[in-house]
Structure 1
């Protein structure tokens, strides 16, 4: 390529400093090195960039043109340099998070806020729908982190528990089960069970509570939004299973109550999964650190 960044910088510094000597000093070049660089370019373009004018120099038409282009191009290149450096230092970029835990969204918001404050130039996106599941999205680099209560341990991916919670049954204030300390599976056989639209084999209320006791609810309905789900429970349109912390946060505004599932309760962990080759990523590690510090 004929024109190099050094040529543009020489013209810019020549205008700024007013002399070839001062321009060379600003660029940490000897005057002879600067002159050699310019003469080589002039021989390639077939004409001078400047001519001597007393103790200074005067730009030729080609020199004025190159100076104009230097003022336009160099700031763009310098912004590119700065952005690439920020990428290298993980001060800029993006972090894509996959969610396999519908009720964990409120928890995630508490992690996202301090993370964005720490990395103001980093974009963050949350994905809740995956074509082939969260693990496939992680392996395919569609996401950088996977939030899930049910980690699938596979080579190349590491999961860490970051937050523990109790899964509880949620009933309305006037529901017949309201005064119980805990419920057994058979208590739900005449109930309408409301859940998120997740396969039954991934719903803990079924897999860890109802099905082992050979019990099923009278009816199973699915709802997307947590707020609507809780409103339905408060209106005695059904019961649901959610993390205790989420229920207790909402109990001040809705007539609902959490009940323990069985005498011992059902306890879960929110896990964060990452690819092993991202173990040293400051963005990923910072998100892990913040996630572990969030409590309710």
Structure 2
């Protein structure tokens, strides 16, 4: 590598502050030293990172590309150091976990209790940012496991099946549609409909239920937080199609109701996604096995009720 860590830190600081004076203060060096560092890095790499725009520095197109890498990589390195320090002094192994597509964590306390009983050296850390970009989060090592619905694992990612779920219509509790055995797309035509994302995801409601019918809800609003959608539905302001597992806590407390989609229903498989490069007995692989085991036990217990 032609650049050293101090050069990457320099790029990050200059990107964040936009001028030499503030970036130098943040790095704990003089403005002159920072100017020399910029010149040294540009000599090593054979090109310009910045061009002057008044008193500020503006990234060149090539400088912008390499700075984006610095912004992604340095936080990952900092987290790795923090984890090492913690694991070196304690016999714990931290595993970062996120949930794709739906921000639901009602099940976490029970799972942590299970992990503490079965493998107390594993410590769970939740990463909420993994919800929106699960594959990128795994590839950049900002998360170790992502619980994901309906995903086909790309190269470099392993998918471990966890449990079967279903997509359901979620309505206010005791809503007229909740008394139907199942609903059809036409039932959504004149009602306020909340969708979790404008992106058409393969295997979800738009592809498998709404689009084939040709009936599109007229009143659609995007709300990108599961909890917020539940609050709106509970207040009687509309309906949505969501994972039944994701809204289970609200269903149990009778804040909302759910209804099957179509005569056959629409299933949804959930999996644990991990990096293929992880060692066979890594902390993330251990936790993935515990996840699969815990969901199997939970499913058996629910079937007995």
Length-normalised TM-score, structure 2: 0.59
Q: Distance in 2 between matches of 1:209 and 1:108?
A: 30
Distance in 2 separating the partners of 1:160 and 1:112: 19
> Tell me, which stretches of 5 or more residues in structure 2 are unaligned?
1-83
Distance 1:128 1:212 in 2: 33
Q: Which stretch has the larger CA shift, 285-294 or 216-225? A: 216-225
Q: Give the drift of 1:187.
A: 1.2
Higher CA-based Rg: 1
C-alpha contact 1:183 1:260 (8 A) present in aligned 2:
yes
1:233-252 mapped onto 2 (5 Å cutoff): 233-245=233-245, 247=247, 249-252=249-252
Displacement of 1:226 after TM fit?
Answer: 3.7
Q: What's the CA shift string for 1:139-194, capped at 9, x where partnerless?
A: 22222112211323222211011121111111224533232100111111111112
Change (3 A) 1:147 1:255: closer
**Which secondary structure state, in structure 2, belongs to the residue aligned with residue 258 of structure 1?**
strand
Question: How far does the alpha carbon of each residue in 1:56-100 deviate from its partner, in whole angstroms, 9 at most, with x for none?
Answer: xxxxxxxxxxxxxxxxxxxxxxxxxxx89x66xx94232112321
Query: Which residue is 2:145 aligned to?
Result: 145
1:43-122 → structure 2 map (5 Å cutoff): 91-102=91-102, 104-116=104-116, 118-120=118-120, 122=122
1:135 deviates by 1.3
Q: 1:207 to 1:103 in 2, by over 3 A?
A: farther
Equivalent residue runs for 1:1-296 within 5 Å: 91-102=91-102, 104-116=104-116, 118-120=118-120, 122-129=122-129, 133-196=133-196, 198-202=197-201, 204-245=204-245, 247=247, 249-292=249-292, 293-294=294-295, 295=298, 296=302
Kindly state the Cα deviation for residue 255 of structure 1 after the two structures are TM-superposed: 4.9
Sort the Cα spacing of 1:267 and 1:279 in 2 relative to 1 into closer, same or farther, 3 A. farther
Offset at residue 121 of structure 1 (A): 5.4
Q: Is the 8 A contact 1:171 1:240 kept in 2?
A: yes
User: Can you list the C-alpha shifts for 1:110-135, whole angstroms capped at 9, x where unaligned?
Assistant: 43342255555554322232599321
Please report the TM-score for the alignment, with normalisation by the length of structure 1.
0.61
Measure the CA separation in 2 of the matches of 1:104 and 1:221: 20
How far off its partner does 1:262 sit?
A: 0.7
8 Å contact 1:174–1:236 — kept in the other structure?
no
CA contact (8 A) 1:200 1:206 kept: no
Equivalent position SS for 1:259: strand
Distance 1:136 1:234 in 2: 33
Contact 1:101-1:147 at 8 Å conserved across structures: no
CA 1:161–1:131 in 2, change beyond 3 Å: closer, same or farther?
Answer: closer
C-alpha root-mean-square deviation of aligned residues, in Å?
A: 3.2
